Amino acid sequence: MNKILSNTKGDRWIWLIVILLSAISMLSVYSSTGTLAYKQGKATEVILFKHMLMIFGGIALMYISHKLDYRYYAGISKVLMYITVPLLAYTLVFGSHVNDASRWIAIPGTGFTFQTSDLAKLALITYLARLLSRKQENIKDVKNSFIPIMGSVCVVFVLIALANLSTALMLFGVSVLLLIIGRISIKQIAIVCLGGAILLAAVMMLGPRRHTYYSRINSFMHPEQADPDKSFQSSHAKIAIATGGLFGKGPGNSTERNYLPQSYSDFIYATIVEEYGFVGGLIVIGLYMFLLYRCVKIVTKAPKAFGALLAAGLSFTLTIQAFANMAIAVGLGPVTGVPLPLVSMGGTSILFTSIAFGIILSVSRHIDESEASKIEGTKEKTANDVSNNKIIVGEIGLA
């Protein structure tokens, strides 16, 4: 254990945030899965144990990811993109259908399902960071730089949006932020946004889930006219938050967890606020805000463009997703299937989120090691200068 801790590098504050969010996750999932356990005929402890295995597995993946030099992820991203695009297409055609959406594919022989959009988020961000960093010399070249960048963003956006529009929109927004950081011209960014708007309109008007999108937007815009069945989740989430008060009802005392169908995943923030109150909800927000702050510090210190873009893209993805989930829980947006990173119960979501944290920590580790080597070099140079001065003084004295 001591050897593992001594080999754990990178930003210590980010490690602490991950541990705190994992602890909050275990408490909240254990509290909110009673109904799920009853439906599945299992003990709540069994579900908690599986969730804890995912969390510890995620931390193990984060440790492995942070030990790998972040520059290797440039080559890995290309392979991931070659895997991701056909995998997303396969999911749309042959994936498991849940709530009229085909987002998962079954892993043969395991009983687990795999959400391909989780892999797609990681693949696209790392691939964009690679393209933008390698094409800085000719970033305004339309044929060699702009078209490959725009093509990768739009293809992944469409393939995800057909089944999971909210995730696709967040990923598209992060991609645009990366284009801005990567010095893409305003004109080219406007073209990307226009292309995204056209694709969005096509998905919403012609896509297989267009009726679901209309229903959710209408329920959000006109809650007084909405079908009670359509606004059921958002209504009970608001009740949970409203009854939480300042310090909440206490751990395990939530009542709305018995009514919210996704109290352990999409609406886990409502459960947290109900049980731990305004203070508990504020602590969770503060952790994600502090995470963004630490990641921005890593971005500003990164010596290479790829490391800066990689840390920026992954941190923006995690924090935007977190605040989108919390905004939906408090009624600031239409209901979507967006989990709270590292807190919501999940399988592949936790694992890929942990890998993203590991990559950010890999960039941080490289910065720390570079700074340490500079300090060591400065000390060695100073020691050599002092030694040379002593020799010169001695020679003068002998003379």
Query: In the prediction, which pLDDT does 5 show?
Result: 55
What are the respective helix, strand and coil percentages of the chain, to the nearest 5? 75, 5, 25
Query: In the prediction, which pLDDT does 335 show?
Result: 80
Query: In the prediction, which pLDDT does 279 show?
Result: 94
Grouping H, G, I as helix, E, B as strand and the rest as coil, residue 77 is helix
Query: In the prediction, which pLDDT does 304 show?
Result: 84
Q: Which two structure tokens, joined as six digits, stand for 350?
A: 């936790």
C-alpha–C-alpha distance, residues 387 and 366, integer Å: 31
Query: In the prediction, which pLDDT does 153 show?
Result: 87
Query: In the prediction, which pLDDT does 10 show?
Result: 81
Asked if 122 contacts 88 with a C-beta cutoff of 8 angstroms, the reply is: no
Query: In the prediction, which pLDDT does 292 show?
Result: 94
Query: In the prediction, which pLDDT does 17 show?
Result: 94
Asked if 129 contacts 310 with a C-beta cutoff of 8 angstroms, the reply is: yes
How much is the pTM? 0.88
Beta strand segments in the chain, E: 96-98, 101-106, 113-115
Number of separate domains in the chain: 1
The enclosing H or E element of 390 equals helix 348-398
* DSSP result, 258-315: GT-TTTTTTTHHHHHHHHHHHHHHHHHHHHHHHHHHHHHHHHHH-SSHHHHHHHHHHH
Query: In the prediction, which pLDDT does 395 show?
Result: 52
The torsion region of residue 245 among left (phi > 0), alpha (psi -120 to 50) and beta comes to left
Asked if 288 contacts 321 with a C-beta cutoff of 8 angstroms, the reply is: no
Query: In the prediction, which pLDDT does 25 show?
Result: 93
Query: In the prediction, which pLDDT does 376 show?
Result: 66
pLDDT digits (tens), the chain, 399 positions = 555 556 677 889 999 999 999 999 999 999 888 888 878 888 888 888 999 999 999 999 999 999 998 989 988 988 999 999 898 888 888 776 665 566 777 766 666 677 888 889 999 999 999 988 887 667 666 677 778 888 888 889 888 888 888 888 899 999 989 888 887 878 888 888 888 888 888 888 887 777 777 777 777 777 666 666 667 778 888 888 988 888 889 888 888 888 888 888 888 999 999 999 999 999 999 999 999 999 999 999 887 888 999 999 999 999 999 999 999 888 888 888 788 999 998 778 899 999 999 999 999 998 888 777 766 666 666 666 555 655 554 555 545
Asked if 209 contacts 337 with a C-beta cutoff of 8 angstroms, the reply is: no
Q: Which residues lie closer than 8 Å to 86 by C-beta, 6 or more apart?
A: none
Kindly tell me the burial class for residue 75, based on how many C-beta atoms sit within 10 Å of its own C-beta (0-12, 13-18, 19 or more): exposed
**Residue span of the structural domain in which 102 resides:** 2-398
Q: Which residues pair with 106 in a beta bridge?
A: 113
